[in-house]
Structure 1
Amino acid sequence: MKKLFMKVVNGFKLAFEKTTSGSVKLVEKFLPDPFIFAIALTFVVVIISFFVTKTQPLGLVQAWYGGFWSLLAFAMQMALILVTGTILATAPLFKKGLGWLASIPKNRFTAIIMVSVVSLLASFINWGFGLVIGAIFAKEVAKRVKNIDYPLLVATAYAGFVIWHAGMSGSIPLALATAGAALGTATGGAVVDPIATSQTIFSMFNLVIVGVIVVTLPFLLAAMHPKGDKIKTVDPRLLEDEPEPAKKPRSEMTPAEKLENSYVVNYLLAAMGFAVIIKFFMDYGFNLNLNIVIFIFLFAAIALHGTPIAVVRAVNSAAKSTGGIILQFPFYAGIMGLMTTQGPTGVSLAGAISDFFVNVSNETTFPLFSFLSAGIVNVFVPSGGGQWAVQGPIMMPAGAALGVDAAKTAMSIAWGDAWTNMIQPFWALPVLGIAKLGAKNIMGYCLIVLLYTGLIIGLGLLLL
């Protein structure tokens, strides 16, 4: 019996290794640069929209252009979250603390487990915080743990993002908890009174799903580590920060240089910023939004870097990684414009996808199908707020008509929005910018994460 058991276990391990290796090879071979991916999605959506919405080609082009600039503010926020997170991590004191934490794991297994747990917990607290801290921590671990697969380590850092929309910064549950006319509009009139986060983020069914993923996903990722010559390490020198220029003695500085190197200027500015931060927490508690996260990163970095010129140099270095965000976000905004445009029949492509899943659902299967439809729409509309605007007015009334709890319907959409981020390069761009990798380097591993978490989330929504 023991031999049979070991044979089954070894067979499973071999099959898992082959599946992981095959996934990595498949993605590396066929997944293009994220910009090409965005272009391909644009053409796909144009063609499908032409047949589904009956919109004429010129109308589709106009819808694409109409959406093209709709994410400019958000793109700037994403560029800032990358830059401010990076300059905070490169501040001497913070870097020392992060380095100490990264020195704890002594082998590949514990390194991947630790990066995964840090990323998952940080993403549950705040999605922007999780994206940046996970990637920076992975870099620090890669400098210290020998013979570890760097693409897997970075994929591990990104994989924690899969739970963000079920966490404390989830845009859909937070929108549900906010009173006002916008709530009725966003839910198609199905919800008019706010739904507390105790019924969404902190509900038993949501916490069980989150808990299972947090406990099991790190071990799944550790089990994916390649062996032998398939391991892709990184030269630690490529991960080092740029050396700072030699500092002049203060007696040799010009008045302008003395200001640039003034600790007093930085500390006064930091004090002003932290006064705002403290007031925010007094007023709103731990309800972080993207702006305050960027603000915290920025002013913590200002305080820790010591002088204005040190901050300037750190920003100049970090800004080199923002190219993907600047180039690609407008194209995804254009795709969102295409997905939401309504043709002569009043049907949008996103609406048609949602309606299809509504029509094949019943009270039991509706949360599962809401999750799957949201996952599909998220590939084309990779924004939590955009997803809610597209699907909320369709799915929420449908769920109410079937007798499904509104909180569960909303969380099903939220989970679907987060789930397919594992194969959507849009959200990986900040992580890839920090790690200095391409999307195809990590997406093979993320595909396995997608399949595994999809099973856990789907079963949780169906059975709990």
Structure 2
Amino acid sequence: MLNAAAKPLVKLVERYLPDPYVFVLLLSVVVFCAAMLFEQQSPLQVLQYWGDGFWGLLSFSMQMLLVLVTGFMLANTPLVRGILDRLAKLANSASQAIVLVSLISLIASWLNWGFGLVVGALFAKALAKKVKVDYRLLVASAYSGFVVWHGGLAGSVPLTIATPNHFSAGQIGVIPTSDTIFAGFNLLLVAILFVAVPLVNYLMQPKTDESVYVDPAKLRDDAHTKSPGNRPADKLENSIVLGLLVGFAGLAYLVQYFVKGGSLNLNIVNYLFLFLAIVLHGTPSRLLHSLQQAIKGGAGIVIQFPFYAGIMAIMVQSGLAQSMSQWFVSFASAETLAFWTFISAGIVNIFVPSGGGQWAVQAPVMIPAALELGADINRIAMAVAWGDAWTNLIQPFWALPVLAIAGLKAKDIMGYCLLQLAVTGVIISLVLSFG
């Protein structure tokens, strides 16, 4: 049944979904017009918001580029390639490959979203080298595990409200993660998705004559050839001692960081990936060769993220995001506020694809509504978090690192993700409302 349902969605997306760059240009035009139409902003004022905010994600853009580059370099080491290949041998059929990559991606994304994006894509490539499986669905399955990230250990909304002196502390106080990430309803939701997401991916498998396979030879990375030069510079570039000295120094800092109680965040994940790659590649020349391969897929991140920063600025500064949230709240009750919060967060996320940024936009609307209606503020906060994670399934913004590693385009996987969006949306709505 799900294969039949997925088929028209896949064809629809393949035919009409443009390249992610064109998608972000269209979103820019839509938001520009909406701010003038619904918020009565002048064209010059909207243009000012857009231009002022255009470079607002530079730091995050670099972080995302490093997620791709450092993750690729680490996976391209002989040790990690061997581990991924051994794990891939656990799958002896297309069905097993789909389920296995879904589970690995779910686990990795629950631990940390950046880790999940890279591990899922790299494991999908390893599986495709071993098993004959529809490559589009395999990569879509790897990406679908990302849906649980905001209910996991790195969820920005629950971590923000668990931080002393956060911007809403005066209204709701400090809410520990035991009431959000580790609350019964959230753990129940995560557990259900750990079953449902792999099952849906499994049931979406196309027939053999409709599958799209990839030549395993095209997935292999170019082997590094050691430079035979005798210059002092050549000796430094091929020095194992230099690479290990710096690499172990970086790992020693990480040990000290975690001993002192440091937490896992995107910078630390990138730092870990980088210094593990330095150690496991051994020589600077091997690392640089891997870097040259990795950087090829980063063009989409570099060019598109500034446009999303401009969109976010218009949404926030014009009041469009707040108005959208207030509209949903206007007809909610204490019992239905979590559901409408989830839906509104999912829609806002299309235009403001940042968990922390979305909470900053929606908290001033959702918190007073929850307090006035007597709704569970912990559940409302997690509804924002899950809404943000939910529509990431069809937001090319987050898929860019996965697509770059896998060598696919957004239209190749989004048809499958669209069906996952429908199924997971029902599950999340029910658990937030009644769980």
Q: TM-score range by the shorter chain?
A: over 0.9
SS at match of 1:190: helix
Displacement of 1:181 after TM fit? 5.0
**2:73 counterpart letter in structure 1:** I
Match of 1:225 among 205, 215, 224: 205
Relative to structure 1, the CA distance from residue 181 to residue 86 in structure 2 (aligned partners, 3 Å threshold; closer, same or farther) is: closer
Match of 1:190 among 157, 163, 171: 171
Match of 1:165 among 150, 162, 166: 150
| 1:116 counterpart residue number | 102
Relative to structure 1, the CA distance from residue 141 to residue 456 in structure 2 (aligned partners, 3 Å threshold; closer, same or farther) is: same
Taking the TM superposition and a 5 Å limit, the aligned residue runs for 1:273-422 are 273-284=250-261, 287-342=263-318, 348-422=319-393
2:231 corresponds to 1:254: yes
Deviations 1:356-410 (A, max 9, x none): 0110100000000000000000000001111011101111121111111221110
SS at match of 2:221: coil
Displacement of 1:17 after TM fit? 2.4
Deviations 1:306-341 (A, max 9, x none): 001111111111011100000100001010011011
- Give the whole-Å Cα distance in 2 for the aligned partners of 1:418 and 1:397: 23
- Give the whole-Å Cα distance in 1 for the aligned partners of 2:413 and 2:261: 37
Match of 2:27 among 35, 41, 60: 41
- Give the whole-Å Cα distance in 2 for the aligned partners of 1:87 and 1:313: 9
2:431 corresponds to 1:460: yes
- Give the whole-Å Cα distance in 1 for the aligned partners of 2:226 and 2:63: 33
| 2:188 counterpart residue number | 208
2:162 corresponds to 1:177: yes
2:9 corresponds to 1:29: no
Bigger CA drift: 394-403 or 355-364? 394-403
- Give the whole-Å Cα distance in 1 for the aligned partners of 2:123 and 2:135: 12
| 1:67 counterpart residue number | 53
- Give the whole-Å Cα distance in 2 for the aligned partners of 1:52 and 1:152: 39
| 1:4 counterpart residue number | none
- Give the whole-Å Cα distance in 1 for the aligned partners of 2:108 and 2:286: 27
| 2:416 counterpart residue number | 445
- Give the whole-Å Cα distance in 1 for the aligned partners of 2:195 and 2:253: 36
SS at match of 1:180: coil
| 1:10 counterpart residue number | none
Displacement of 1:228 after TM fit? 2.9
Displacement of 1:275 after TM fit? 1.2
2:142 corresponds to 1:142: no
Bigger CA drift: 294-303 or 239-248? 239-248
- Give the whole-Å Cα distance in 2 for the aligned partners of 1:428 and 1:394: 29
TM-score by length of 2: 0.98
CA contact (8 A) 1:113 1:218 kept: yes
CA contact (8 A) 2:227 2:234 kept: no
| Identity, % of aligned positions | 50
**1:133 counterpart letter in structure 2:** V
CA contact (8 A) 2:193 2:424 kept: yes
CA contact (8 A) 1:175 1:183 kept: no
Displacement of 1:129 after TM fit? 0.2
Residue ranges of structure 2 left out of the alignment (5+ in a row): none
2:129 corresponds to 1:153: no
Displacement of 1:247 after TM fit? 4.2
**2:122 counterpart letter in structure 1:** I
Relative to structure 1, the CA distance from residue 181 to residue 161 in structure 2 (aligned partners, 3 Å threshold; closer, same or farther) is: closer
Cα RMSD (Å): 1.0
Displacement of 1:242 after TM fit? 1.5
SS at match of 1:401: helix
- Give the whole-Å Cα distance in 1 for the aligned partners of 2:385 and 2:429: 13
**1:159 counterpart letter in structure 2:** S
TM-score by length of 1: 0.92
- The structure number with the bigger radius of gyration is 1
Q: How many residue pairs align between the two structures?
A: 435
Displacement of 1:253 after TM fit? 2.1
Deviations 1:145-177 (A, max 9, x none): 02x100100000000000100000000000010
- Give the whole-Å Cα distance in 2 for the aligned partners of 1:438 and 1:374: 26
- Give the whole-Å Cα distance in 1 for the aligned partners of 2:166 and 2:134: 50
